[in-house]
Structure 1
């Protein structure tokens, strides 16, 4: 009786199935539907700019009020240099593991190995281009408004003196550092790099260059013009300084309206970007990877779960009235360790540079200094919130 042998085609098909990379076999609905790898380096630039150049930058003059001119500008420069360096290190670590066959799509994938209705992240590229333009627009408005008020007789008397109380001054400095860390913060570098079409080598560096060109133009202009105009009276949100104590506008009302409109529109894009990790978790939990991405089985749970997440986040944001203080807390507990400490630690653990090499000790120094800053900044942020909580109420119109 003749035995049946598989055809050459069948053998190759079986071999292909047996040699599918482990990560591809384990791809869940979150990775399949949200983290699509189709983007170019310019798209990563749009994503990076939207995730970093956000309305939090409008708190920079408030941070300067506790730091003064020299320290404020120095902190901005250090923040820009260290985060650019850290994000590039994270990109190199991701590229290295991708070459080894372990492509990390999420931050938790990296940690595991080394230690709201938009379907996918890649589909946000056009929205994030608009977001980039909007960030330039409201930053230009904030800068122009500050210069206009500072040059007119309507503005407050310029006072750049720091608090005479040593305790208040010290805690204020670390609170300000945490605010600056928040403005530079980006906790979704792996998710952004996951949107790049292979080969990814060098694309994130170009994207970072696009992002930081916009960042330098916006951060420094808003921080310097706002602090110049309002000094130590700078509010947690610089747009609040465009009204006097009686609520009268110091610039044309239409100008305030258009600035707020630009800010809200760009904030919508920022929210969608930062919802992508949440969306990925929701898709992994509720979606069926065997069904079509736009099938009824997946669309209905997606619509309900993402809508609920947006409603909950918006309610919490509206409930908390102190914008600058919340920025400081997020920076201290989240962005300082995530963006200043972990990237250099991951680089040293992945590439294992010689302990005699300058890069090893540079990374160790960055991790040590910013870890210490994070602890002190966390105490300062909680202290400031407890002080301001006495004068604010939930859902306050401030």
Structure 2
């Protein structure tokens, strides 16, 4: 920004709309297509793996209906959020570069701190969920090969703890890379891996349905007898959280919008991009979730790919699980970067004279052509401690489905509904107690109730799991 600003002033020949936008930054080049691709990449992730289980709890009627409802709510509130990219005039108003900046610009006060807290807690939770999911996939690869090598005689029970520790060691090393979030190819790799394992899961589901010659499942979901009446209620509530987690991308929508060029107005482009991307995502989710439920019926697993664990071709499942691990190794770092940056910036401002926090040691690299590595002692200790904490919590609570449900419930209402609705009301100066104001508030309250039910169901699931799970001892 600093260099660009100097060029903007010192070179009058470049001082025109062909080089810079109205905020003095280099011209944005994003389009409807690039914005759609970014949204699809952000939405389709590990959340897709739990959708078959979610539909199995709700049944053939309520399952797809609830998924469609979440897609409509997410689309509508995303459209409200796009109108908050600029404060004031939708064409020439002040730009908000991040979600939190939009909250600060339009709502201000304590709500900015609340929003930041929710975002950081959600990101912390995602890092735990990713650690659990990666360990499940590593175990699936090991068990699949063990099972086939023994000819099906060895049940291949194992603990998830060593695999979580392996994942944690990898993340400690990667967390020490400065500016990890600037590695441009990371998003491309994540997108390829996401579609790889999701596509394989969908293909296997279709193949299994063709093989058995019928669609399993029922109109009302998992049957009593398989679970108790209380378990059915809690599981149905948790299913709402799992589906909500699959649609959680609102916190980065403003950042994607900040890449879009104008004219036309950025909000207009983003509304079209959101409509297309959510339509594609929902169709893909419907296929994955419904085919998974059709394949397994009441016994649909928390993680779709683990349900195919001992089926042939097992090498294809190994590829899918390896794709999950590769995706999550990078995704963990991307989601943790805002937390790392926030803590390190706060520490440098709090203790500006401390050499432990500010000094960087240049370590020569043994490979010619590589720049010296900049080692910062505070970064080394703090980031290592963070990864160790998320790993230990994952080892204590290795319940992928329940953690996903809690994350979906915790993040859905505030980040996807409440703040977009409140900012939109402030942006458009909607009169209190007007029909539109009442409708928006009713939408927000309704979604709050959904989040509370989803959170309650997920927490109940964790409590039930802990009754039979013994940390560091239980094997799968």
* Range class of TM-score, shorter chain: 0.7 to 0.9
Pick from 259, 262, 268 the counterpart of residue 196 of structure 1.
259
- The residue aligned with 1:10 is none
- Moved segments of 4+, more than 6 Å: 36-39
- The residue aligned with 1:158 is 216
TM-score (norm 1): 0.75
1:21-54 deviation per Cα after TM superposition (whole angstroms, max 9, x unaligned): xxxxxxxxxxxxxxx9967245544543343211
Q: Tell me how far apart the structure 2 counterparts of residues 83 and 368 of structure 1 sit (CA, whole Å).
A: 15
Find the residue that maps to 1:275 and give its secondary structure: helix
Q: Tell me how far apart the structure 1 counterparts of residues 270 and 387 of structure 2 sit (CA, whole Å).
A: 29
The answer to whether the 8 A contact 2:51-2:242 is kept is: yes
- The residue aligned with 2:247 is 184
Q: Does 1:119 align with 2:163?
A: no
- The residue aligned with 1:345 is 422
Unaligned runs of 5+ in 1: 1-12, 14-35, 244-248
The answer to whether the 8 A contact 1:353-1:360 is kept is: yes
Pick from 182, 197, 208 the counterpart of residue 138 of structure 1.
197
- The residue aligned with 2:303 is 237
1:78-117 deviation per Cα after TM superposition (whole angstroms, max 9, x unaligned): 1112112212222211223695436353426615750444
Q: Tell me how far apart the structure 1 counterparts of residues 296 and 397 of structure 2 sit (CA, whole Å).
A: 24
User: Cα–Cα, structure 1 residues 286 and 267, in superposed 2: closer, same or farther, change >3 Å?
Assistant: same
Structure 1 range deviating more: 137-146 or 166-175: 166-175
Give runs of aligned pairs for residues 264-343 of structure 1, distance below 5 A. Answer: 264-286=325-347, 299-301=374-376, 304=380, 305-343=382-420
- Deviation of 1:260 after TM superposition, in Å, equals 0.3
Pick from 46, 52, 57 the counterpart of residue 61 of structure 1.
52
Pick from 288, 291, 310 the counterpart of residue 225 of structure 1.
291
- Deviation of 1:239 after TM superposition, in Å, equals 1.4
The answer to whether the 8 A contact 1:87-1:189 is kept is: no
Q: Tell me how far apart the structure 1 counterparts of residues 398 and 432 of structure 2 sit (CA, whole Å).
A: 47
Structure 1 range deviating more: 323-332 or 204-213: 204-213
Q: Tell me how far apart the structure 2 counterparts of residues 210 and 268 of structure 1 sit (CA, whole Å).
A: 28
Find the residue that maps to 1:158 and give its secondary structure: coil
CA RMSD, 1 decimal = 3.6
- Deviation of 1:205 after TM superposition, in Å, equals 3.5
Q: Tell me how far apart the structure 2 counterparts of residues 278 and 319 of structure 1 sit (CA, whole Å).
A: 22
Unaligned runs of 5+ in 2: 1-8, 10-25, 112-174, 353-357, 363-372
The answer to whether the 8 A contact 1:58-1:239 is kept is: yes
- Deviation of 1:198 after TM superposition, in Å, equals 6.4
Give runs of aligned pairs for residues 372-383 of structure 1, distance below 5 A. Answer: 372-383=449-460
The answer to whether the 8 A contact 1:118-1:124 is kept is: no
Q: Tell me how far apart the structure 1 counterparts of residues 331 and 466 of structure 2 sit (CA, whole Å).
A: 27
1:349-374 deviation per Cα after TM superposition (whole angstroms, max 9, x unaligned): 32223468664344222201111122
Q: Tell me how far apart the structure 1 counterparts of residues 29 and 332 of structure 2 sit (CA, whole Å).
A: 20
User: Cα–Cα, structure 1 residues 141 and 286, in superposed 2: closer, same or farther, change >3 Å?
Assistant: same
Pick from 30, 49, 69 the counterpart of residue 78 of structure 1.
69
